[in-house]
Structure 1
Amino acid sequence: MKLVFTVCLLTVIYQSSHLAKSSKSEGKSIKFSYLQILREKRLVNEKRIARYNDIVGVSSSNVIGYSNGNDSFISNEDNYLYGIYMGIKWQCVEYARRWTFLRKSSIFESVNGANDMWNQLKYIENVVEKKKYPLKKHSNGHRNRPINESYLIYPIQKDMPYGHVAIIVDVLTNSIRVAEQNFYFHYWKGNYSREIPILFKNGLYYIEDKYQVYGWIEINDNKQLKPLDKLTIETIEKKNKFFLNSASYYQKSNFIFFTLFIYNLMLFQYLHL
């Protein structure tokens, strides 16, 4: 009798153990399947081409990247932010200027293309104080590591008829991360669009992109420049309002002057008939 009871007990324990393992295995399988679905969905999303005007990502807390649809399209639509010109939607230079405006409360002068930034730009200018902050160029293959919050500049080359500019938003041990527009047209997987390797060779740092790189331009502000804030926006809007009122007054004055001129001319002709 004891033997039968022992056999039954062992059978129950074995079956319970088997069911527990099976349940655990099924749980792992379900979890794995769920993670696999998420991973595949993310990969599909990263490869999916974003339509023109779609938001592809956000870098540096608040700088939105938009899709240009494809790299040959030029919208010829100007983009203004608080009355200040940013550039043509959604070109790479527009993103660089808007990033500078939002993160440094400054802008740089107009350029024909990103390629011209390397030789033409000497400073950025604070939009309120009008103080100029110098820019420092570092050619690719420099003794200093790439610097965060710098402009990465590409020359004119195949697939880049105007060159290209990206913003370095993170510097890692062996790579940099950049944010940009009008390069790739997929949705970003994080707060950056691409990660590019860095090579340290013979005491020099090289950004190892598949395209030729001029180098990076450092903003030499000694961390004085701050992101655009509410007070700065209010100051800009007050200035815009003043200029609009001045322009309106000027237009009205011109209209009155022109009307008086015509009236006096007609009066003169009438008196000399």
Structure 2
Amino acid sequence: MPHPIAPQDRHDAFPAEPTGTAVLLLAGSSGRVEAERADLLAAQGAQVRAIRWFGGEGQRPAPHEVPIELFAEQLDLLRAEADRVVIFGTSFGAEAALTTASLVPVDGVIAVAPSSVVWAGAADGAWSSHWTHGGVPLPCVGFDPDWAPDSEPPSFCPLYASSLLRFPEDAAAARIRVEDIAGDVLLVAGGDDLVWPAVDFAHSIERDRAAAGLRTTVVTHPDAGHRLLLPGEAPAAGGIRMARGGTPEADAALGTAAWPEVLRMLANP
């Protein structure tokens, strides 16, 4: 069945001078519509659709069994209006972007604070995969039940790391098949990410693609956190209460380093 996006759950940004590239833009666990970033990318020539993918009208209430078809359908709509399509996601949105691109054709993926595996999510007290495909939950990694936070606000990076070690068979089954992504892949990660080990995830993705003879661009900064600041962006507020690491200066430095690669992905070679 189709998965339409209600008008209040999307933001379309159109360029004055189109490059022919369209971008599907996905936020992470904040559930926001990334309107500011969409406008920034449109100023560089891309047609951009930013969407809310959970918590919106007719959508799943949380990142829990969200259908990959929701993203695939939006990519199809954008492809009808552009020469090429790119999916750009952050955090859980990066997980969605990479998973979607491993299952349906795209010309490029930009994954900020990515994950190399599919994770579990909860809704109404029930745990299952973040994603479904064809109505079936994708294999996922659950969480270490013995972990407890030791900081306030909590840093969840140790939880994700310990869960991978606790459930290695699940981690292997839940690995995103990034070698099936035919398009270009750009990964951006901060070395001070306190949400999850994004740099480790990025290098794991890079290795898996290299083993398949595929090139991946990885941009990191040792002091940046979970959130990226592209040139001209202001620090974001809100979202789930947690330690994210980094500083506005370091997050902006990561964004400055990544910006030429983002522009390359938006161009139409």
TM-score tier by shorter-chain length is under 0.3
TM-score normalised to the size of structure 1? 0.24
Query: What TM-score, normalized by structure 2, do the two folds share?
Result: 0.24
When Rg is computed on C-alpha atoms for both structures, the one with the higher figure is 1
Higher helix share: 1
**Structure showing the higher strand proportion among its residues:** 1
